[in-house]
Amino acid sequence: MHASRTLGLLLATICASILIPTSTTAATAATASTCSDIYVLGARGSGQYAEGGDQFGGYGPQVFAAVRDLEEKTGASASSTSAPVTYPAWPTSMLVTNKKRYFEGIDQGVANALQALADRQRRCPTERLVLAGYSSGAMVVHRVVRRILDDRTFAARLDGVLLIADGDRVANDNTVLHGTAPAASQGLGHNVSGSGTSPAKLPLAYEQVLHSICNKNDSACGGGVDTRTHSGYQGSPEVVEAVDDVVERVAVRFPRS
């Protein structure tokens, strides 16, 4: 009973921090008609606006800031195309009212992202890949990464993954850690039945491209109930640090002339 009350408090506090009206449209991720050096796919968090709903282009403020930072820092040597994963991104209040539908939304995001990557690969097979997600969007990206790392077509082109406040975070996972959360911290999904969160670690061979960004007491990834921490990653030092790591990797492939 105590565990149930604790989980209820966590869900309620997350709702209070990131509840924003969202579109219910679940289209496939947007794509561009021309190829670039780098393709960036980003997934917004729960309750954040879909594309066209605000100034953040369907990425949400946290992923938008990270994508723009990446593009600005790589722009002198490499061209890039970015696209948001357009999926329901239901508000976290639905974890209380309709948990099954909430996680079906995440599953839909995974399917849409995988389809977008497959479509893009057929048109632009040499593009490098960077994926980014925040909160439930990080859960989408985490699950996509589990799938594509089994396929060398995608895995060999993956230069960076940014998992910001990841509800699927696995304790002591094979990722580069950024932020103040202990390595043993794990995502809220591990405490919610039917979430689809996997306890398995990501492959060690890809550790240097997998970046988990989480601060201590974050209500989604850091084992706490601090919603201000959870909503505070827009352009934050730990996200910038992770982006810089990805930029360094990209710079090796696309040195300035």
Among 136-140, 175-179, 222-226, which is the least confidently predicted range? Answer: 222-226
- Say what the pTM is: 0.87
Domains and CATH numbers, the chain: 2-253 (3.40.50.1820)
Lowest mean pLDDT among 7-11, 103-107, 145-149, 190-194: 7-11
- Residues 154-163: what's their mean pLDDT? 98
Please spell the DSSP secondary structure of the chain, one letter per residue. Answer: -HHHHHHHHHHHHHHHHH--------PPPP--SS--SEEEEEE--TTPPPTTSSTTTTSHHHHHHHHHHHHHHHTTT--EEEEE-------TTHHHH-HHHHHHHHHHHHHHHHHHHHHHHHH-TT-EEEEEEETHHHHHHHHHHHHHTT-HHHHTTEEEEEEES-TT--TT-SSEEESSS-TT---GGGGSTT-----PPPPGGGGGGEEEE--TTBTTTSSS-BHHHHT--TT-HHHHHHHHHHHHHHHHHS---
- Tell whether the model's pLDDT for residue 10 goes beyond 60: no
Average pLDDT over the chain reads 89
pLDDT, tens digit, 9 for 90 and up, residues 69-83: 999 999 999 999 999
Residue 8, pLDDT above cutoff 60: no
Residue 5 has pLDDT above 70, yes or no: no
> pLDDT at position 257, please?
63
